[in-house]
């Protein structure tokens, strides 16, 4: 099975590399071999940084790996943008040529123009990454909300992806911005890490400075299971995170009770059936509660969550596509993929990511720390 996966991966990478070289030659047809060499160097940096991060954790802190990671991540941002623009144009060009005796409407200037457009979009997307997350404030209107819970503020962090290019400095900025919101509760909805625990242990430490009146609560995303969970959980508990795995905590505020439940990502099932997300188990309590909140990395359980009596769900995972034009495709995969959404009697907020994954590019989709405030509606 692993052999089959590797063969498919090599075939996919080979196709994209060949297409990259093809497009590079179109940009500068007078220097074909130079363009192929440049394509190879950047494509190799993009792919190798990912594989090295997984297979050789001992090099994580070396200067050459950090440079390789940034070069690979930045090029991935450009490459993804350029490919997503170029492929549909090429499809149209092939159709045009088919009906016009092989004549293409794409000139060398047009190819270079597409290149410049993708480059400009990537630069602005990279600037957005460097600026870090913006604060998005949203009111959650709740009918018949208990008066003592009105104006309760919940800060959400999601998809931080601490790893080769998101480290202590970025994490500290997230912590500082979150603390400035003076939240009552802080929730972290998965994909917190993207490297082996030992590699990023020091970069988790700023999380210990997160401050809220009633705690910091965390559920796993899919990426945590790509790197191993045994050492990660102990480190997260050391920095003060309360991990919710098919369980809940009752938070009492001014005499009212909030049930805050969390389920692991479905990837937890690879550890065994007992680790799979279980909404009923997460929701179960014999205590009468006034408001029920679910933390789930993926937005997918919204229908079952509403059936279980949750009033509000916080999720992430989608990155809202992370950058244009990938953002155009995300509605094909998720009904609810960004911002505040309503399903039946339940609200669902999907955070587009406080960090980023892979490409250092957030063109058109800024990273975000969310501050949700409960408000009462008549």
Beta partners for residue 377, in sequence order: 143
Report field, pTM of the whole predicted structure over 0.95: no
Q: What percent of the chain has pLDDT over 70?
A: 99
Residues 265 and 274 sit within 8 Å (Cβ to Cβ): no
Task: Quote the number of domains for the chain.
Answer: 2
pLDDT at residue 378 greater than cutoff 70: no
Percent of the chain with pLDDT strictly greater than 90: 72
Do 186 and 228 sit in the same domain of this protein? yes
Q: Stretch 133-143: mean pLDDT, rounded?
A: 96
Domain boundary residue, one of 130, 150, 180: 130
Residues 216-244 pLDDT 10s: 999 999 999 888 777 899 999 999 999 99
Query: What does the alpha-carbon distance between residue 87 and residue 185 come to, in Å, rounded to a whole number?
Result: 45
Q: Are residues 46 and 153 in the same domain?
A: no
Assess whether 77 and 202 both reside in one domain: no
Question: What backbone torsions phi and psi does residue 351 show, to the nearest 5 degrees?
Answer: -80, 130
For residue 111, pLDDT beyond 60: yes
Do 137 and 122 sit in the same domain of this protein? no
Q: In this structure, what CATH number is given to the domain that contains residue 170?
A: 3.60.21.10
Helices (H), the chain: 2-27, 32-55, 63-99, 108-131, 168-180, 197-204, 230-238, 279-283, 302-307
Boundary residue ending a domain (106, 130, 154): 130
Q: How confident is the model at residue 29 (pLDDT cuts 50, 70, 90)?
A: confident
Q: What is the DSSP string of 319-334?
A: GGGSSTTGGGTGGGT-
pLDDT at site 5:
65
Q: Average pLDDT in the 323-344 region?
A: 94
**Domain, as residue range, for 98:** 2-130
Instruction: Please tell me the predicted confidence (pLDDT) of residue 2.
Output: 54
Residue 298 CA to residue 318 CA, distance in Å, equals 8
| 146 and 119, same domain (yes or no) | no
Is residue 150 within 8 A of residue 186, CB to CB? The reply is: no
Given a cut of 70, whether residue 190 has pLDDT beyond it is: yes
pLDDT at 94: 86
Residues 124 and 152 in one domain: no
Residue with the larger pLDDT of the pair 31 and 371: 371
In this predicted structure, the answer to whether residue 369 has a pLDDT above a threshold of 90 is yes
């Amino acid at each position: 099975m692993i052999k089959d996966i590797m063969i498919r991966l090599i075939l996919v990478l080979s196709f994209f590399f060949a297409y990259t070289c093809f497009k590079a030659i179109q940009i500068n047809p007078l220097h074909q071999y130079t363009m192929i060499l440049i394509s190879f160097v950047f494509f190799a940096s993009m792919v190798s940084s990912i594989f090295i991060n997984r297979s050789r954790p001992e090099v994580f802190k070396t200067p050459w790996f950090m440079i390789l990671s940034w070069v690979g991540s930045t090029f991935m941002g450009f490459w993804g943008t350029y490919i997503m623009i170029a492929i549909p144009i090429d499809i149209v060009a092939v159709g045009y040529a088919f009906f016009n005796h092989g004549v293409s409407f794409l000139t060398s200037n047009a190819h270079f123009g597409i290149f410049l457009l993708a480059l400009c979009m990537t630069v602005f997307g990279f600037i957005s990454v460097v600026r870090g997350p913006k604060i998005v404030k949203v009111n959650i209107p709740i009918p018949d909300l208990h008066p003592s819970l009105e104006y309760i503020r919940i800060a959400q962090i999601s998809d931080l992806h601490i790893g080769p290019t998101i480290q202590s400095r970025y994490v500290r900025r997230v912590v500082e911005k979150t603390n400035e919101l003076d939240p009552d509760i802080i929730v972290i909805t998965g994909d917190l890490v993207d490297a082996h625990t030992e590699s990023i242990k020091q970069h988790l430490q700023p999380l210990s400075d997160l401050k809220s009146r009633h705690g910091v609560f965390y559920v796993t995303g899919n990426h945590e299971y790509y790197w191993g969970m045994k050492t990660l959980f102990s480190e997260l508990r050391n920095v003060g995170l309360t991990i919710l795995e098919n369980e809940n905590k009752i938070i009492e505020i001014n005499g009212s009770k909030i049930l805050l439940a969390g389920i692991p990502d479905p990837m937890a099932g690879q550890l065994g059936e007992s680790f799979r997300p279980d909404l009923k188990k997460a929701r179960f309590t014999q205590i009468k509660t006034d408001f029920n909140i679910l933390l789930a990395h993926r937005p997918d359980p919204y229908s079952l969550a509403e059936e279980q009596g949750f009033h509000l769900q916080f999720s992430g995972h989608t990155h809202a596509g992370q950058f244009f034009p990938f953002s155009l495709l995300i509605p094909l995969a998720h009904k609810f993929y960004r911002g505040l959404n309503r399903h039946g009697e339940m609200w669902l907020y999907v955070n587009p990511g406080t960090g980023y994954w892979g490409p250092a590019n957030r063109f058109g989709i800024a990273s975000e720390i969310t501050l949700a405030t409960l408000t009462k509606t008549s």
